[in-house]
Structure 1
Amino acid sequence: MKKVVLITGITGMVGSHFAHLFEQDGYEVCGVARNSAASRNAAIQDHKVVRCDIMERDALMKIFKKKQPDIVIHMAAQAFNGASWNCEYTTQETNIIGTLNVLYCAKELFDQGKDIKILLACSSAEYGNITPEDCPLVENRLLKPHSPYGVSKVGVEMLGQQYFANYNMKIFLPRMFIHVGTGHPPATAIQNFARQIALVKKGLLADNVIKVGNLETARDFIDVRDGVRAMKILLDKGKPGEPVNICTGLAYKISDVLQMLIEISGVDIKVGHDPDLYRSGDEPLLLGDNTKIAALGFVPEFTLRQTLEAVFADWMSRI
């Protein structure tokens, strides 16, 4: 009998890539998504998706009892750092209470003798106010979250720690740095750049001017295909209850990323700065130490240019 993987947020970028990876490895995959969450990936067939809001604990419990998952990948969230400033209550409620509901349902199966693993989407945003001197960031650094999103993800991780410490459940805590890939909305810098450049390529953007925010920061980007593979390695070989950075250990300046996308597109672009795209408390450098995940055998397969080529091609097909 195949092992069952239940993925919350299965229609999202990370969730859909997790689905593909587990299917390739012979697992039975099912997922949870809200009615309002349109599938961003045609390969996620409707029969694999149960429409349910993670805020509805009783409905979620019915799904857990029916599917009897061996692994739970919890990706459903208000997942955008910048957006969290404008929806603090939604961010905290969805991310903290939603996670509590998932853990509560998983514990019900655990108490009935199910050997279940739970992976919770934690975040580099938990590190918070950092300076270049703090980098590369190691997992034992004091957490000082700056944004509502970062605060919510500390809450997610602490809930995982609580269930691990008190109930001896197998809770895995990947601190995800910025995952980049296909099937993502234009809510992050790279996706926003790629979408606008694709509009220019198709002659749909006036004067070939794209709007950008702060180009002087540098970020540790990881291809989503590498990220989900790293997290599966964590599930297979890592220690429950131990936070682990999911990152490359390399940082790229945003201006260099933009230039790379322009080169990939082959079009002439004019850049205009939009004050609304600047974010409060934008760290000059976000760079992770990937020693822990590398020690488990993870090696990135995709270069940033390969990732950007895939993202740009995705936006050309979506517009």
Structure 2
Amino acid sequence: MKALITGVQGFVGKYLADHLLSYGIEVWGTSREDSPLLCLKNGNVKIIKNDLNSEEGILYLLQSIKPDYIFHLAGQSNVKKSWEDKEGTFYANVNKTIFLLDACVRYQRENPNMRLLTVGSSEEYGRVEANELPIKETTPLRPMSPYGASKAAVSMLIQQYHKAHGLNVVHVRPFNHIGPGQSEGFVTTDFAKQVVELENNDSTPTINVGDLSSERDFTDVKDIVRAYHLIITKGILGQVYNVCSEKPISITDILNYFLSFSNKRFKVNIDASKFRPIEFKKYYGSNEVIKEQLGWIPEYSIEKSLKDIYLFLKNN
């Protein structure tokens, strides 16, 4: 079996590639730059330069590699950046996906058993009322950012391509996913980094944080990629799947976990300048569909996930 992962060198892409390699699947990946082999724990990933800017270029890539599974992870994933570059966000997330979908329609004629998985986001749901929690796949889409709108467009496109062209495609909407190696700008990495950097301070160090009152849905990246593999192999074609823990946890609890991992005592300073407009105090999804159809449930506890992040930063 062969798999192609677009955006393989991103945070989730590396974990997904390593997971597939552990199953003996040959993994290829795309990159916008010339890159050497991506060397991972369970093997190597062959990297091909392809910016996904043309249907013909993507079709040539598919015909050359002949993948059985295609995971589309590439795109613009920063919500803040989507406001600064709306056009670029839609081109990266929608136009390039259309090029890929059209190429896959043609490729499927040669390989009828190929399967494509497109990755969306919980940002597609946007504004959700309290009585709509937990968020289900049937919850109306009301995206509140250009990023969320672009991903919502993709989820509609895959259903259209499945019905109009019989394309073997599924779409996932992951909620917050976390793990070692995630970049800064995400709350778990930012908290852990402060703890690790300050715990050798002789005095009682101060951690500066923003609003801690909101509750969010966090899932370990290793559980996320396990879900992607299960969905692309056994999921119902044309369907959308939430991938989430279904367990909201407060940002206060996230911080307290990190503080408990260290022997150091910390002061916590609530910095009002770090506050961002929060539309929802509580936001979490339902994993009922993937659980009932495919038997997937998260295996990593939030404490285990956060401890792994802390130790990764401490040891590196």
Is TM (by shorter chain) over 0.5?
yes
Aligned to 1:21: 19
Please give the alpha-carbon distance, in whole angstroms, between the structure 1 residues aligned to 2:194 and 2:81. Answer: 19
1:290 to 287, 292, 295: 287
Deviation of residue 44 (structure 1)? 8.7
Aligned to 2:225: 228
- The secondary structure found in structure 2 opposite 1:32 is strand
Retained in 2: the 8 A contact 1:80–1:187?
Answer: no
Deviation of residue 130 (structure 1)? 1.7
Q: Is residue 252 from structure 1 mapped to residue 243 from structure 2 by the alignment?
A: no
Please give the alpha-carbon distance, in whole angstroms, between the structure 2 residues aligned to 1:15 and 1:246. Answer: 16
Residues 206-245 of structure 1 mapped to structure 2, 5 A cutoff: 208-245=205-242
Residue identity matched to 1:286: Y
The number of residue pairs the alignment matches comes to 315
Aligned alpha-carbon RMSD (Å): 2.6
Please give the alpha-carbon distance, in whole angstroms, between the structure 2 residues aligned to 1:292 and 1:113. Answer: 28
- The secondary structure found in structure 1 opposite 2:96 is helix
Q: Return closer, same or farther for 1:260/1:159 CA change in 2, 3 Å cut-off.
A: same
Deviation of residue 196 (structure 1)? 2.0
Q: Is residue 49 from structure 1 mapped to residue 47 from structure 2 by the alignment?
A: yes
Aligned to 2:140: 142
Please give the alpha-carbon distance, in whole angstroms, between the structure 1 residues aligned to 2:243 and 2:65. Answer: 28
How much identity, in percent, do the aligned residues show? 29
Deviation of residue 263 (structure 1)? 1.0
Residue identity matched to 1:279: R
Residues 149-188 of structure 1 mapped to structure 2, 5 A cutoff: 149-188=147-186
Please give the alpha-carbon distance, in whole angstroms, between the structure 2 residues aligned to 1:80 and 1:149. Answer: 7
Deviations 1:194-228 (A, max 9, x none): 22222213559x97333323211101111111111
- The secondary structure found in structure 1 opposite 2:53 is coil
User: Runs of 5+ in structure 1 lacking a partner?
Assistant: none
Moved more, 8-17 or 192-201: 192-201
Residue identity matched to 2:124: E
Q: Return closer, same or farther for 1:112/1:276 CA change in 2, 3 Å cut-off.
A: farther
Moved more, 39-48 or 104-113: 39-48
Please give the alpha-carbon distance, in whole angstroms, between the structure 2 residues aligned to 1:162 and 1:37. Answer: 34
Residue identity matched to 2:173: R
Deviation of residue 118 (structure 1)? 0.5
- The secondary structure found in structure 2 opposite 1:48 is strand
Please give the alpha-carbon distance, in whole angstroms, between the structure 2 residues aligned to 1:105 and 1:38. Answer: 26
Residue identity matched to 1:161: Q
- TM-score normalised by structure 2 residue count: 0.91
- The secondary structure found in structure 1 opposite 2:104 is helix
Residue identity matched to 2:136: V
2:118 to 98, 120, 137: 120
Q: Return closer, same or farther for 1:254/1:114 CA change in 2, 3 Å cut-off.
A: same
Please give the alpha-carbon distance, in whole angstroms, between the structure 1 residues aligned to 2:229 and 2:131. Answer: 31
Q: Return closer, same or farther for 1:288/1:38 CA change in 2, 3 Å cut-off.
A: farther
- The secondary structure found in structure 1 opposite 2:67 is coil
Aligned to 2:197: 199
- The secondary structure found in structure 1 opposite 2:228 is helix
Deviation of residue 308 (structure 1)? 0.4
User: Runs of 5+ in structure 2 lacking a partner?
Assistant: none
Please give the alpha-carbon distance, in whole angstroms, between the structure 2 residues aligned to 1:192 and 1:24. Answer: 30
Q: Return closer, same or farther for 1:279/1:157 CA change in 2, 3 Å cut-off.
A: farther
